[in-house]
């Protein structure tokens, strides 16, 4: 029996080493594998992954930013911004012709396009460049909210950025660059983000790409020590859920449950009588961002004071 697709899910592209930047075009997700130079077409329902530039992988190595506007592909590599006409969809020409658009004084990281405006992030300058697509001139610039490598996307009147070092997603006003709110990502090293439009419900879901490595137990039957701890690439795309309360000025992201234990180990000592001894610890505070679900004793019962 075929498994039915029931909604947002973690997307794990097959054969990918390092995802940098993602973009949706209708039901299809496009992404860049920076290390291998793959331009990827991904089915978010099945994880099926297709390399659509098999003869141009060298040209796409070190590409960090990707954006789509209609059938035009926008890219950033080193200090340069490029675009490729008729790059995706039924009008794709197979071999994509890069056309130079703009040069930054320092490396360009992420890119987003909205109608006639192009947005480019630059970590070295801590800035978002706002460029005119028709004149190829800079219109203005905004301060980048984070300190690390940032990728960017546009959603209506908002700019959305993810910061790899701060593990944070920022929402900015598109006209002014003012930060509206920010939320933490549930995983480390976010490298791209994009909104998916569900044509059945009309709702938009934010997806964030992550690229890093993970520890695993490597089984090597030819080694004296058969099992050893090693690292391997880990890249996936995960839906980011968030809630923003504009009146109370707070925002929260994916909910998760933490279980923690506080245990004080007492070494055997000479018998000493201590009169009216109390042992006190502070409990986690109740805020908009966190709620204490349950407290239970380990060993001697305690008294909770509120």
DSSP 169-185: EEEEETTT--EEEEEE-
Q: Answer yes or no: is 288 within a domain.
A: no
What is residue 265's predicted lDDT score, i.e. its pLDDT? 65
Number of domain units in the chain: 1
Q: What is the DSSP string of 2-55?
A: PPPP-S---B--TT-S-EEEEEEETTEEEEEETTTTEEEEE-TTT--EEES-TT
* 104 lies in some domain: yes
Six-digit token string for 15: 């054969």
**What does the pLDDT read at residue 3?**
46
What pLDDT shows up at residue 261? 80
Ordered DSSP codes for 50-72? EES-TT-HHHHTTEEEEEEETTE
Torsions phi, psi for 114 (to 5 deg):
-140, 110
144: in domain: yes
Give the model's pLDDT for residue 27: 86
Q: Is residue 2 part of a domain?
A: no
Domain of residue 185, residue span? 19-249
Query: Is residue 145 situated within a structural domain?
Result: yes
**pTM value?**
0.84
CATH number for the domain harbouring residue 128: 2.120.10.30
Start-to-end CA span in the chain (Å): 54
Residue 230 lies in a domain: yes
Q: Rounded distance, CA 160 to CA 179, Å?
A: 10
Average pLDDT by stretches of 10, the chain with 306 residues: 61 89 91 92 91 90 93 93 83 74 95 95 95 94 93 95 95 94 93 90 91 88 85 92 89 83 68 76 82 81 76
Q: Is residue 174 part of a domain?
A: yes
Report the SS3 class of residue 89. Answer: helix
Whether 76 contacts 67, CB under 8 Å: no
Whether residue 7 lies inside any domain: the answer is no
Separation CA 119–CA 259 (nearest Å): 42
């Amino acid at each position: 029996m075929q498994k039915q697709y029931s909604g947002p899910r973690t997307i794990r592209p097959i054969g990918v080493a390092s995802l940098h930047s993602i973009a949706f075009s209708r039901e299809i997700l496009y992404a860049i594998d920076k290390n291998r130079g793959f331009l990827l077409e991904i089915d978010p329902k099945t994880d099926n992954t297709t390399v659509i530039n098999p003869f141009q992988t060298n040209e796409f190595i070190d590409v960090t930013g990707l954006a789509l506007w209609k059938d035009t592909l926008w890219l950033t590599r080193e200090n340069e911004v490029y675009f490729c006409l008729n790059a995706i969809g039924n009008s794709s020409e197979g071999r994509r012709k890069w056309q130079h658009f703009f040069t930054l004084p320092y490396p360009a990281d992420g890119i987003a396009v909205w109608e006639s405006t192009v947005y480019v992030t630059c970590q070295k300058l801590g800035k978002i460049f706002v460029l005119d697509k028709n004149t190829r001139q800079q219109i203005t610039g905004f301060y980048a909210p984070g300190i690390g490598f940032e990728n960017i996307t546009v959603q209506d009147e908002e700019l959305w950025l993810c910061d790899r070092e701060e593990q944070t997603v920022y929402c900015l006003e598109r006209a002014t660059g003012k930060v509206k709110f920010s939320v933490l990502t549930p995983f480390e090293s976010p490298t791209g983000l994009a909104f998916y439009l569900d044509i059945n419900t009309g709702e938009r879901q934010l997806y964030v790409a992550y690229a890093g490595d993970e520890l695993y137990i490597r089984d090597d039957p030819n080694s004296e020590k058969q099992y050893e701890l090693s690292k391997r690439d880990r890249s996936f795309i995960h839906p980011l859920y968030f809630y923003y309360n504009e009146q109370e000025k707070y925002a929260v992201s994916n909910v998760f449950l933490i279980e923690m234990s506080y245990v004080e180990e007492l070494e055997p000592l000479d018998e000493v009588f201590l009169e009216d001894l109390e042992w006190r610890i502070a409990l986690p505070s109740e805020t908009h961002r966190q709620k204490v679900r349950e407290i239970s004793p380990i060993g001697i019962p305690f008294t909770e004071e509120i």
